[in-house]
Amino acid sequence: MDDRDERSARPSDQEDPFDDIPRSGSSRPRAPRPGAPRRPAPRSRA
């Protein structure tokens, strides 16, 4: 019971570091800022 609580309470210590790296990197470029219409601009022109 202690092992389960510790793993669920700190999932970023064992299986989160791997999911946190790709998730944080993909979340930034995937969500463009509304104040930076420079990325969607070249896509619409092309």
The CA-atom distances, in angstroms, between 8 and each of 4, 29, 33, 38 are 6, 29, 33, 41
Q: Is 6 left (phi over 0), alpha (psi -120 to 50) or beta?
A: alpha
Q: Is the pLDDT of residue 9 over 50?
A: yes
For residues 25 and 33, the answer to whether their CB atoms sit within 8 Å is no
| pLDDT per residue as tens digits for the range 12-30 | 455 555 555 555 555 455 5
Q: Which amino acid is at 34?
A: P
Across all residues in the chain, what is the average pLDDT? 55
pTM given for the model: 0.12
Say what the pLDDT of residue 23 is: 53
Mention every residue, 6+ apart, whose C-beta is less than 8 A from residue 43.
none
Q: Which amino acid does the sequence have at 3?
A: D
Predicted pLDDT at 12: 47
Considering the chain, what percentage of its residues have pLDDT values greater than 70?
A: 0
